[in-house]
């Protein structure tokens, strides 16, 4: 099977700024279900083993898209590094939902895409964004969260919050790159102005799409309790826990191997089975 890989496609978004996406799909005359992968905090489309994951979904007969949020800190000229920390600091949830919408609008026009079958796969914070978008957009009929948060209200608390408000910025060290990554106070203000829109619990409860929740029991960043909570909120969802899996299901940056890590491979296989069962063959 020949897999087409269209990488670094420029996606315009007048509400934010241009950003990049990749599309992986089998060479075929058929219209394929569209899967959009939504990366998380301090993530980007080419991180770790995401390219291998994209290939595996394409081989299974899907039109798989991954993208960089416009303000994730990468740039069109340098998509693999946090070359624009000013943009990173000016990111917020409104921009991320807007970017996700721009990706969907761009790819549903593709002649290889079946616009009646749209699935979001969100990792970590990208899971929270995907839940919000799925509730807002009835075109989305499949939702898969990987190590997802159950709330987007993840900000500094107490004294740290007051210092952030006063200074207008706080910094988080990126353990891998050693960069001090800024977060401007506008991030919180945007959340506060749209607090009902970004209520992940309400969106999870109300979302009509087929919903699969995947989480590792050894997640060091987002507790597995988040997954259990999402499942309680939406009893029609399916909960799939991977014993001892960590937050990135065994992947790391860089990922130099030719195969997916074992836990991430389980994620992909379970996701393919779920999409085929609930959406493709229903």
The predicted pLDDT at position 282 comes to: 77
CATH code: domain 3-154+196-280 is 3.40.50.1820
Residues 33-47: what's their mean pLDDT?
98
* Rama region for 194: left / alpha / beta (φ>0; ψ in -120 to 50; rest): alpha
Task: Identify the helix (H) or strand (E) that includes residue 205.
Answer: helix 200-206
Distance from C-alpha of 218 to C-alpha of 237, rounded to nearest angstrom: 21
Over residues 104-145, the pLDDT tens digits come to 999 999 999 999 999 999 999 999 999 999 999 999 999 999
Residue showing tokens 């499942």: 231
Distance from C-alpha of 105 to C-alpha of 113, rounded to nearest angstrom: 11
Over residues 150-196, the pLDDT tens digits come to 999 999 999 999 999 999 999 999 999 999 999 999 999 999 999 99
Q: Could you tell me which of 240, 65, 48, 224 has the C-alpha nearest to residue 147?
A: 224
Is residue 1's pLDDT more than 90?
no
**pTM for the model:** 0.99
Q: Could you tell me what percent of the chain has a pLDDT over 70?
A: 100
CB-based burial of residue 86 (10 Å sphere; 0-12 exposed, 13-18 middle, 19+ buried)?
A: exposed
CB-based burial of residue 152 (10 Å sphere; 0-12 exposed, 13-18 middle, 19+ buried)?
A: buried
Based on its alpha-carbon atoms, the radius of gyration of the chain, rounded to whole angstroms, reads 18
């Amino acid at each position: 099977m020949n897999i087409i890989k269209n990488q670094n496609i420029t996606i315009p978004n007048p509400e934010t700024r241009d950003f990049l996406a990749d599309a992986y799909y089998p060479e075929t005359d058929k219209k394929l279900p569209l899967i959009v992968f939504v990366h998380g905090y301090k993530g980007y489309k080419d991180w770790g083993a995401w390219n291998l994951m994209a290939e595996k979904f394409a081989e299974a007969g899907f039109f798989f898209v991954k993208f960089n949020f416009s303000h994730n800190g990468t740039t069109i000229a340098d998509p693999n590094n946090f070359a624009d920390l000013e943009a990173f600091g000016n990111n917020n949830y409104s921009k991320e939902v807007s970017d996700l919408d721009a990706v969907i609008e761009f790819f549903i026009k593709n002649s290889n895409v079946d616009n009646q079958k749209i699935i979001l796969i969100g990792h970590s914070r990208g899971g929270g964004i995907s839940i919000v978008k799925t509730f807002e957009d009835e075109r989305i009929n499949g939702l898969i969260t990987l190590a997802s948060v159950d709330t987007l209200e993840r900000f500094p608390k107490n004294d740290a919050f007051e210092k952030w408000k006063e200074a207008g910025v706080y910094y988080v060290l990126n353990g891998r790159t050693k960069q001090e990554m800024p977060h401007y106070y506008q991030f919180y203000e945007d959340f506060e102005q749209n607090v009902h829109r970004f209520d992940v619990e309400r969106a999870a409860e109300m979302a009509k799409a087929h919903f699969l929740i995947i989480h590792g029991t050894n997640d060091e960043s987002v507790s597995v309790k988040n997954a259990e909570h999402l499942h309680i909120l939406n009893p029609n969802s399916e909960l799939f826990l991977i014993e001892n899996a960590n937050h990135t299901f065994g992947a790391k940056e860089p990922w130099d191997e030719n195969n997916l890590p074992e836990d991430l491979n389980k994620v992909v296989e379970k996701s393919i089975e779920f999409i085929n069962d609930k959406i493709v063959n229903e």
